[in-house]
């Protein structure tokens, strides 16, 4: 694809707001007007991963270099050489999955098979690539030093706090790369949270368009509520709790206050991703994801 990988594109991106057309109000809320598109990239990647996991397939090598941008600057997952159906996973293929900087602590220590939770951890590191505009996690550090930092000091890659806090994704990052595997959210939870953040952006974009319309006095609509915190985890599920599927036995996620039908989308009706080609063989899973517009 002519736009290349996501990090390549982000490195070429100039801080001039070219990714988002004129939106002074958006800039007031989010800072640089290109930052909302960083959030959009995260949403698109998490939606694609949500669909893969719903098909019981782990990616195994999620990182910025394996996310391509199509002609419409939409994210497309690539490089499924490490992808596996959960039933085919072994320690042999788990050992070589993910670049070391994107590996979860349990994978680094070779204490885990490939799991959905490994992909969630890698997504958190990929988000750091996005908010640093394509920079390598832990730049200037060799892999052996990175491994020591993660395993011995429980360290995570540095990131620009101002951008992360303006986008409201700090909680997502911290939950995705939690060293406690059972505390990591599913991609269904991540998608729901990030989409809530995006709905806030949509309000400010629509509001800006109203203000720029000739003779418009504004719509008078109220700002959307902030995205709800990610669900907490419980050892014993409350009665109003939906238990989502996980590759970690005993893991449960609370969706208190939500209707059961609102928590996880039906597997047969993916929200935004269509897999055009899906071929599952012994060692390779190939697919191409494309965003649908409703």
- Give the span between the Cα atoms of 246 and 186, in whole angstroms: 8
What's the DSSP call for residue 5? B
- Tokens at 134, concatenated: 């394509």
Within a 10 A sphere around the Cβ of 64, how many other Cβ atoms? 25
User: Given 32, 37, 61, 262, which residue is catalytic?
Assistant: 61
Q: Could you count the other beta carbons within 10 Å of the beta carbon of residue 230? A: 19
Per the structure block, which two tokens stand in for 209?
């368009």
Q: How far apart are CA 56 and CA 188, in angstroms?
A: 13
61 with 82: CB under 8 angstroms?
yes
SS3 272: coil
DSSP annotation of 291 reads E
Give yes or no: 61 in active site: yes
Catalytic center residues: 61
């Amino acid at each position: 694809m002519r736009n290349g990988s996501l990090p390549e594109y982000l490195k070429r991106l100039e801080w001039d707001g070219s990714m988002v057309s004129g939106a002074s109000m958006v800039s007031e809320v989010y800072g640089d007007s290109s930052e909302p598109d960083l959030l959009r990239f995260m949403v698109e990647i998490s939606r694609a991963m949500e669909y893969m996991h719903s098909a019981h397939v782990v990616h195994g090598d999620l990182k910025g270099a394996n996310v391509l941008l199509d002609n419409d600057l939409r994210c497309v997952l690539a490089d499924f050489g490490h992808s596996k159906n959960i039933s085919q996973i072994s320690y042999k293929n788990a050992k070589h999955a993910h670049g070391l900087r994107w590996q979860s602590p349990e994978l680094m220590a070779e204490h885990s098979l490939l799991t959905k939770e490994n992909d969630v951890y890698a997504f958190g590191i990929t988000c750091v690539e996005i908010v640093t505009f394509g920079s390598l996690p832990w730049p200037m550090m060799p892999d052996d030093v990175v491994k020591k930092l993660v395993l011995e000091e429980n360290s995570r890659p540095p990131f620009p706090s101002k951008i992360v806090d303006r986008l409201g994704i700090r909680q997502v990052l911290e939950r995705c790369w939690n060293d406690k595997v059972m505390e990591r959210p599913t991609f269904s939870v991540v998608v729901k949270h990030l989409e809530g953040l995006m709905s806030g952006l949509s309000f400010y974009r629509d509001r800006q368009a109203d203000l720029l319309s000739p003779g418009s006095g504004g719509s008078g609509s109220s700002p959307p509520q902030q995205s709800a915190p990610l669900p907490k985890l419980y050892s014993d599920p409350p009665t109003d709790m939906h238990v989502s599927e996980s590759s970690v036995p005993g893991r449960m996620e609370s969706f208190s206050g939500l209707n059961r039908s609102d928590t996880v989308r039906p597997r047969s009706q993916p929200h935004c991703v269509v897999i055009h080609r899906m071929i599952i063989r012994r060692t390779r899973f190939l697919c191409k994801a494309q965003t649908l517009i409703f």
